[in-house]
Amino acid sequence: MSKIKPSQGAPYARIMGVGGYRPTRIVPNEVILETIDSSDEWIRSRSGIATRHWASPEETVSAMSVEAAGKAIADSGISPQQIGGVIVSTVSHFKQTPAIATEIADKIGAIKPAAFDISAGCAGFGYGLTLAKGMVVEGSAEYVLVIGVERLSDLTDLEDRATAFLFGDGAGAVVVGPAKEPQIGPTVWGSEGDKSDTIKQTVPWDDYREGKVEKFPAITQEGQAVFRWAVFEMAKVAQQALDAAGISADDLDVFIPHQANMRIIDSMVKTLKLPEHVTVARDVETTGNTSAASIPLAMERLLATGQAKSGDTALVIGFGAGLVYAATVVTLP
């Protein structure tokens, strides 16, 4: 018989607060057209994107995260000193070590929390949310800060017609804490590594360091393959998340998919047969694809504008490079 004492965590976990930060510079499609042969109409029809935010040198991964985190903590009603874990999902923090989460934890005033980064691309927020839920329920932290943050403008090839218009910068954060009833459902997550080449960095860092290539590494993708996978496979994952939570599409109030592409979002809505009363996040139009930041940023905007309200039941799903995915049903804070 084991002598290990059982964990003393909360029975359930919930999202208590949400915050976001968008860089001050707004970049319209006209700026993108200076370096690629395309048109505003083509970009809008292919992606639904009209503008995106690009960070200034001062709007670092850390600085944007601290701003978003501060708003989420204030929204949750707790103090920074109560944060017992900081999880940061990003692919655009360029220091291999230490984890940017440790710097952010210190800057927000958390006291010796567990702090680590994860790399799960556009599904990173869902991965972080699931880990935070586990920490709260297991009892290793009472409150956990989850941040999705990207400066994808640093990894964008402005001469690549397939991707130059897609990416934006920003940070979104939530605080996860204890709950007396289920408010974060079971996560349906996974990976399909056989498709890893469909979204990837163009070359490894050491190829650039050693002078094998002159152009700085960027993100590239096979657009049609990614579109087909997202539309057909991710709708199935979204349905599995609904089933795991024990609800149907009729029970939903809000749908917050990864803000990758308006056509993907609209196709998923159609495939899932979401009722007209369900509010659908379409933040991609003005924010672009911010990878791990896209879901919390979209969530924050829906709540701030009154399109969604506290207590609403929302389906969230992220998917991207890996290929990886994560979907769950949550109660909005």
Integer CA distances (angstroms), 272 to 151, 201, 289, 307, 330, in order = 32, 31, 22, 20, 17
3-class secondary-structure state, position 250: helix
Q: Which residues are CB-neighbours of 144 under 8 A, at least 6 positions away?
A: 83, 84, 85, 86, 87, 131, 132, 135, 136, 175, 176, 177
Phi, psi (deg, nearest 5) at residue 73: -65, -45
Instruction: Tell how strand 143-151 and strand 83-89 pair up.
Output: parallel
Q: Retrieve residue 70's tokens.
A: 């501060």
Q: Retrieve residue 77's tokens.
A: 């009603």
Decide if 289 is catalytic: yes
3-class secondary-structure state, position 171: strand
Degrees (nearest 5) of the Cα angle 214, 288, 90? 65
Integer CA distances (angstroms), 268 to 36, 49, 215, 225, 235, in order = 29, 17, 36, 16, 6
Decide if 261 is catalytic: no
Catalytic residue among 53, 93, 258, 261: 258
Nearest CA among 22, 33, 58 for reference residue 301: 22
Helix ranges, the chain (H)? 29-32, 40-47, 61-76, 100-108, 124-138, 205-209, 223-245, 262-272, 284-287, 294-304
CB 83: neighbour CB atoms within 10 A?
26
Quote the CA–CA distance of 260 and 258 in Å, as a whole number: 6
Decide if 122 is catalytic: yes
| Residues annotated catalytic, as ranges | 122, 258, 289
